[in-house]
A and B are shown apart, each in its own frame.
Chain A
């Protein structure tokens, strides 16, 4: 089998991986290799034919495609190698790190001093959500809908499940392809995007139902109807020929799990410290593999930042792992990243949070001392960042509630 060596292997050529590759080279790390399973670098933004991308990174407005191309060019110009159509099969964490990959030219082994997982995220499929019913054709995620060749239609009158931004994107894709979504359905009693965005379905004449759960999906061989259940116990059949499961992102953390790294139940991604180090400190992670889900720009910046810590670490300049303290989640807190902190200076300067339900007030405390707080109502599926105090030596707890 072919063998290759590099200093840092980055798995995933999306915004986080490409941002990290460029930064590592700029910091003088010599052999930086990025592998990606797709035929083109750039990750998710490649499929976004709309603006705005790139204000933060390039100071101008780009489409997703143009943005993806720019990120890849920047990494290549910085001297990173990008190997496409290369699938990672497994990570072996013996004394040396080695990664089994495969592609059209057959399997190969890549040995690396450090690895960065930048495998991104994806929408949760119907099965993992345990949704009841049969399994007819026409039940897909937005990702599959938008990757479909334009001449092929999975359905014509789908029901769209979810109200995150991606659900609105699915709505636009459907309309752009001559499909007529019959309804948007949200489990929570409120939209997950800012309410103003929900003008879009109204404008397009697509009804939206809140507080509705899917009780049944029927049809053979294709979807014929969906039964919705409401909090008052009533149910309603909706005739449709497809269901789009939109949103409910989850990190693509399979490699982390199979490699035996600690995975956080809150995020579904690998547990990291404030330097982006996983439970095996030779492996770092950045981008949407860490949590659901952030913008491309955020992931790019995060990739760069954590790559900076990697470069520092390779030069022996990071506080050693061990003696970590935990960041605990109080009731109603969906996740907090990073999940552990090593005593020492530097690292990520904010704690990324999400809540499970609307809560008033959110704070970070060490024992009885409140270190940071935000007021107002925090909504699920929205970004919350609290300043992460430096030099923490005891465990932190994220609390919700007006008194917090």
Chain B
């Protein structure tokens, strides 16, 4: 049986970045994702902020990974055509107590190497954000906090890994496995037995269970933390330039108000502990609460239509820090407890983990990496609709063309379910939520998705 160098379990943000790093370093990689498509777990729902790490614990692994991840994203983004919406962020103090906390946050930012932070007084806040509520007392401006497309980068990383030989398997939940001193044998229902010398556990919400199932022990326990979000209509995005961050608490970075790369305005997330690792449900009362919070910060948002609501689960653990552990004697690396900062930190985490691994298993680095160029989905940059020959407009709210749909259904990593198609194109994600395009998409995707949009013919009601 063919033995890979590395099996990456999980194709979330961290798994995709991991597969890319190891493939670029010359390892033969296999990626095992239990979902039908990449980013189908914790990574599908986040606030899409590219963090500087200004408020990360000083000297922590998390801070180092955010810093390195940020730098690498900025380095590679042009070659992959990945967007950055340059917004800056303001940590806004709305109460005197919060204002007292700003000094500490500023010192922490500087200790973390973020030297370009600035304090803004109430007048300066108003000048920068005229629609923000008057009750903003003072703020710390972090100019290099930005907004990105939260999905395209990870597809790009996985495509790059694939271009350099990585095998990508979906519907590939690892049921069991054993280590014979040299390599792991991993059992999946759909793809049979796979062998890899080293396993990197990037299983997100199921990371502890995977460790326990295959190693017999886990250092941590995942405590899913739900975050609900509300997305306002594109008209609301004109009301705000900067990401508005609250003064964070020990537990969470709090509710954020920011634009999205797709031209909307987003408020969220909540932080709600729950046991269920699969079910990310929204509830009306909480969504109304979020809308209320948005209105309190940005009164002009009142009355703006809601475009979308969603909830995601963060793979929090009993402790705040990243839970990365290398077990060299068992050829196993666990990458766990990667929460909201993971989207920014993923590239840095991958480098760090490769550093742990390279001590034991060096390969020859790829000399000239192939960079897939991603179709741009960001509103502030040219989209496909601006180029002739797109066929037809399929999704009118998000201006998604048939050419874009066809491209996402083809290619080396085609969309395998509607969620995957949405993340690749933005179809149905606009204000009408598929009223206008759901039927057309059902026809265009017929026979082409692993989880079809419609039911198989013939079954009786």
Q: Which residues of A contact B (CB under 8 A)?
A: 37, 39, 85, 87, 89, 102-107, 122-123, 125-128, 130-135, 137, 140-141, 143-149, 151-157, 178-180, 216, 218, 220-221, 241, 250, 252, 254, 257-258, 263, 265, 268
Contacts and interface: CB of A to CB of B under 8 A. Distances in A.
Contacts of B148: none
Given A39-B392, A130-B306, A147-B440, A153 B435 contact: no
A154 B283 CA distance: 24
A257 B431 CA distance: 12
Contacts of A148: 438-439, 442, 454
Given A125-B433, A254-B235, A147 B386 contact: no
25 contacts: A85-B393, A87-B385, A102-B385, A104-B390, A106-B386, A107-B385, A123-B435, A126-B433, A128-B433, A130-B284, A130-B309, A135-B310, A137-B418, A140-B438, A143-B435, A144-B435, A145-B439, A147-B438, A152-B454, A153-B455, A178-B461, A218-B281, A254-B235, A263-B303, A268-B305
A49 to B, nearest CB: 15
A132 B439 contact: no
Contacts, number: 140
Nearest to B309: A127
Q: Is the interface of A mostly helix, strand, loop or mixed?
A: loop
Contacts of B134: none
Contacts of B389: 104, 106
B388 to A, nearest CB: 3
A252 B393 CA distance: 17
B459 interface: yes
Contact of A153 (B392, B431, B440, B454): B454
Interface in B397-441: 397, 399, 417-418, 431-436, 438-440
A122 B388 contact: no
Nearest to B455: A153
Q: Is the interface of B mostly helix, strand, loop or mixed?
A: loop
Contacts of A153: 454-455, 457
A156 B459 contact: yes
B75 interface: no
Nearest to B430: A254
B435 A87 contact: no
Given A104-B389, A132-B281, A149 B306 contact: no
B182 interface: no
Contacts of B396: 37, 87
B435 A151 contact: no
A265 B303 CA distance: 6
Nearest to A174: B461
Top 5 nearest A-B pairs by Cβ distance? A106-B388, A125-B433, A147-B439, A257-B235, A144-B438
Interface string B258-286: 00000000000000000000111111100
Given A130-B284, A155-B455, A156-B459, A106 B434 contact: no
Nearest to B278: A220
B280 A134 contact: yes
Given A133-B283, A258-B234, 20 more contacts: A87-B385, A106-B387, A122-B436, A123-B435, A128-B433, A130-B284, A132-B281, A140-B435, A141-B433, A141-B435, A143-B436, A148-B439, A154-B454, A154-B455, A156-B455, A156-B461, A241-B455, A250-B305, A257-B235, A268-B305
A154 B454 CA distance: 4
Interface in B358-376: none
A256 B305 CA distance: 13
Nearest to B393: A87
Nearest to A152: B454
B187 interface: no
Contacts of A39: 392
A85 B393 CA distance: 8
Contact of A137 (B310, B432, B453): B453
Interface in B290-336: 303, 305-310
A103 B451 CA distance: 31
Nearest to B388: A106
A180 B461 contact: yes
B446 interface: yes
B288 interface: yes
A108 to B, nearest CB: 10
Contact of B443 (A152, A241, A252): A152
A257 B264 CA distance: 13
A332 to B, nearest CB: 19
Most buried by B among A103, A144, A145, A241: A144
Contacts of B233: 254, 257
Nearest to A87: B393
B391 interface: yes
Nearest to B236: A257
B155 to A, nearest CB: 20
B305 A128 contact: yes
A128 B306 contact: yes
B432 A122 contact: yes
B193 to A, nearest CB: 27
Contacts of B288: 130
B222 interface: no
Given A134-B279, A140-B434, A156-B461, A104 B439 contact: no
